[in-house]
Each structure stands twice: as C-alpha cells, then as structure tokens.
Amino acid sequence: MPHRKSLALVAATMLAAGSALAQAPAKPASQPAPASAPFATPSTAASPAQAPDPLAALAWLAGCWAGDVNQRAYTEQWTKPAAGMMLGLGHTVMAGRTLSFEFMRIEARSDGSIAYVAKPTDKPEEAFVYQGSKDDHGATRYTFANPSRDFPTEIAYAHTPADEVFAYVIGKVNGQDRQVIYPFRRVDCPAPSAAPATTATAAPATTATATPAATEPPAPPK
C-alpha cells in the first residue's frame, strides 16, 4: 500500500501547514497615511490708511486761473497737492509784452506750519505763513502773512461758491495802507504742444555694380 501511505503523508503535511498558518500572528492593519494639513496662505495685513495731504484744504486752487484789470492780463497755474507741496506760476502781460512773472509754491514744513513762498521778477524769495481760513461774505478766505515786511504783509485768496477767486495783496507803502485785488476766473489749462511729426527719409537705393568678367592673358609671342 505504498500509494495510500504517500497520500496520508501529503494530507498530514498539508494539515500541519494549515495549523501553523492559523497560529501565526496576524499582520497589523496598515495605518492610513496622516492627512496632510492644507497649505495655509499667510494672511495679508491690511495696509494702513494713507494720511491726507497736509495741503488738502487748498486742493481747490489746483488748475488754471485768469483775469484782467487795467489792460493787464494775468494768469496763475497751480499743481495738485503732492507730498506736502503745490507749485505755482504767475504771468502778467500788457499789450503783448510781459510785465512780470512769478514762481510760487505752497509747502508743508517740518515744524507743522504751511508757507506760501513767492519769487517775483528780479526779487528775492519771500515766505508767508498760513494763518487759516475764515468766512468772507460767503467766500472762504485763506490768508498767508509775513509781518516783517511792509508790502506785501499779507497775501490772501478768497474762493467763492461760484468757483471764482479774489487774490488780495495787502500791506503798507510809505506808511499808508494799500490793498490790491486781483479777480480770477477758472479757465482750461493750455494743452501741451504736440511734438512736430518727423518724416521718415528713405535710404538712397544702392546700385549693384557688375563685376567685370575675368579675361585670359594674351598668349606670349612665338
């Protein structure tokens, strides 16, 4: 019965293997991978609010103004407030001739004051300190003063609800009070002149020169 013994031996071997597998410790279940934290976008801090320009109360002056008195035509042009400064230019003309011109600026100073600085024709620069604004018969009057001078001691701009301006130059001449008033109306600023158009010039055509054909040297005499 060798065949039956072989079958019995195979069956016993398989039974022993099955029993060993049953007694083997189970493999631990695989742990799920830890969830990755979502990428955090750094919060953007709100930028601090920009402080108003110290000359904001005078922003209405920006632009172009014109007037005429006693056959004199005069203009002023002012830039918008920027970084605590406004720049101005004045020009007075009579009969097609320049009578005077003036460079001005209004500036916020490090001591907290505001100054109106004027440089008239052929005269040194003078500064007038801002005194504030007040009502003047319905207009708002903005005053700059320099008590160390005789004339002018004071420069003022009165701005009306109709967007007109009266400029006051006030002081003393030979011990007598003097006041000069310049009425202004708002006008369109002159457009910048366009640069002249440049005409493109075509480069002269180059004429191709034919290269002369090479000739053989004459045969030497015999």
CATH number at residue 137: 2.40.128.20
Is 87 inside a domain boundary? yes
Residue 68 falls inside a structural domain: yes
**155 in any annotated domain:** yes
170 Cβ contact partners less than 8 Å away, ≥ 6 residues apart: 152, 153, 154, 155, 156, 177, 178, 179, 180
Range(s) of the domain holding residue 176: 56-187
Tell me if 206 is assigned to some domain: no
Higher local confidence (pLDDT), 30 or 13: 30
C-alpha dihedral sign at 12, 17, 18, 20: positive
The proportion of the chain whose per-residue pLDDT surpasses 70, expressed as a percent, equals 66
- Which helix (H) or strand (E) is 15 found in, with range? helix 2-23
Residue 158 lies in a domain: yes
49 belongs to a structural domain: no
Distance of CA 203 to the CA centre of its chain: 42
Domain count, the chain: 1
CB distance 63 to 159 below 8 Å: no
- What phi and psi values does residue 32 have, to the nearest 5 degrees? -65, 145
Average pLDDT over residues 132-160: 97
Backbone angles phi, psi at 103, to 5 degrees: -105, 130
- Percent of the chain exceeding pLDDT 90 equals 61
State both tokens at 105. Answer: 């600026």
| Per-residue model confidence (pLDDT) at position 50 | 76
Q: Is the pLDDT of residue 179 over 50?
A: yes
Tell whether 41 is covered by a domain.
no
The confidence score (pLDDT) of residue 51 equals 80
Q: Are 86 and 106 in contact (CB under 8 A)?
A: yes
pLDDT at residue 126 is higher than 60: yes
Confidence (pLDDT) at 194: 74
Does 125 map to a domain?
yes
